Amino acid sequence: MNLFELICSALLSLRAHKLRVFLTMIGIIIGISSVVIILSIGAGLKSQVNQSTQSVSVNTLTVNFEPEDLNSTAITTPFQYSDLNELQNIDGVEKVNESNGLLGSSLGITENGNFFDKQTSLTMDNYTGQNITLTFGRPITKEDNKFKNYVIVLTEDHAKSLFGTDLQQALGKGIKIKGEFYQVIGIEKKDVKSLTTAYDYIPTFVKTLFKNDTSISSIDVKVKQGYDTSSVFKSVQNELRILHPDIKGSYVKADPQAITKSLEKIIGSLTLFIAIVSGISLFVGGIGVMNIMYVSVTERRREIGIRRAIGATPKMILLQFLIESIFITSIGGILGIATGYVISLIIGIFLPFKPILTIGILLGSSITSITVGIVFGMIPAYKASNLNPIKAIYK
């Protein structure tokens, strides 16, 4: 028998026991689909983190402070609001702001906002031209800062808490925050795909009324076009040392690529660990395949004996049963991949990012299913190939 005939024979044998074969596949389907779901979610999370980091301008430096003594309990003030104006005078610096993006560590201002008897906790930050999408209203302008207008842009969730579902009715209303009334001028659209905090935005001049100098933990320095970012960073470092001569520690530049790689490594490790744990069901499925192949060998002893008697070699018998085992796990693997991908898309509806089925996941799952067929089908196939033809025919 050639390879084509062995494949045809294996398919005919599986076709004769369709229900039994399908029940055997269930373990493989569950195992492969579990792994695909976990890896797809992990790949989607990695992609979202990478996109969030890339959204940071290549001309923007995030400067952090690293204290000399990490165990010190002394209060340090590495940045002050007055520093922002001083640093803006450096050649090559276009704008300096307190950092509040993915690479920053500012958590914003948390205060209660009141509208008559309704109250909600607001997480506020100053508006410095961030790219936000408004459902209604307008963003904060330079004129609002110039003329000291007490205005605020609310998130959809906070607007609903204070004014109900008709968000447009919130525009022009005044909410009370720490004894001062702020006019609502805009409603920020909810971004379910964002991994960063959603802020309620207030003018820059207002933020200094809430926060003292110790609350600034990092700053963003926007470099002018045509200037070398490394040279500008050194100038910023030197100026900060002059402004804070007694502080013990160093000012360092955050590396977006390094942070992205670190996050991706952590996500990858967790995803792999969970995938391996989920893959235990593959072992259970493999045992099921081995069991059904042993049953098949026992039922077909006479067939095996006759094949051996008319010239089939032990190698051909081994290949025939091994091919049957591989077919079972391969078809189960294909169904598992499809099932896992569909389930991951359904789960993605409730997540802030979309799961991704990569070529690596597809190939890895396919190779795994074939390997399970070879590993768990080898012993029954080897047993079949070593049956004594005479005893197989007459027993």
Would you list the DSSP string of 141-187? -HHHHHTT--EEEEEHHHHHHHH-S-GGGGTT-EEEETTEEEEEEEE
Q: Nearest Cα to 377, choosing from 293, 277, 271? A: 293
Q: At 137, which amino acid appears?
A: G
Handedness of CA 251, 255, 260, 266 (dihedral sign): negative
Burial 237-254 (b: 16+ CB within 10 A, else e): eebbeeebeebeeebebb
What is the DSSP secondary-structure string of 188-201? EPP-TT--SPP-EE
Angle between helices 18-54 and 314-348 in degrees, nearest 10: 50
**Which tokens hold the place of 321?**
């049963």
CB 9 within 8 A of CB 321: no
pLDDT digits 0-9 by tens, 34-89: 989 988 998 888 887 777 666 555 677 888 887 776 554 455 677 777 788 888 88
Count of CB atoms within 10 A of residue 23's CB?
A: 12
Answer yes or no: are the C-beta atoms of 185 and 153 closer than 8 Å. yes
Rg (CA), the chain: 33
List for the chain the helix, strand, coil content (%; round to 5): 55, 15, 30
What is the chain's pLDDT, residue by residue, as a tens digit (395 residues)? 567 777 887 788 888 888 888 888 898 999 899 989 988 998 888 887 777 666 555 677 888 887 776 554 455 677 777 788 888 888 888 888 777 544 444 445 778 899 998 999 888 888 888 788 898 999 999 899 888 899 999 999 899 999 998 888 899 999 998 888 999 999 998 765 555 567 889 988 886 666 554 456 778 888 888 888 888 889 988 988 888 888 888 888 876 666 667 777 887 888 888 878 777 888 888 898 899 888 888 888 888 888 888 888 888 888 888 988 999 999 999 999 999 999 999 988 888 788 888 898 899 888 988 999 899 989 898 888 888 877 777 76
Instruction: In whole angstroms, give the CA distance from residue 377 to residue 294.
Output: 9
Contact status, residue 82 vs residue 247, Cβ threshold 8 Å = no
User: What span, in angstroms and rounded, lies between the C-alpha atoms of 11 and 14?
Assistant: 5
The pLDDT, as a whole number, for residue 100 is 56
What's residue 85's pLDDT? 80
Give the pLDDT confidence score for residue 106 in this predicted structure. Answer: 44
What is the pLDDT, as a whole number, of residue 57? 58
* Contact between 374 and 325 (Cβ < 8 Å): yes
Inter-helix orientation angle 359-385/18-54, to 10° = 150
* Helix axis angle, 359-385 to 280-299, nearest 10°: 30
What the block records as the tokens of 45 is 């999370």
pLDDT in tens, 304-330: 888 888 888 888 888 888 988 999 999
Tens digit of pLDDT for each residue in 175-189?
998 888 999 999 998
Residues 332, 381: Cα–Cα separation, whole Å: 19
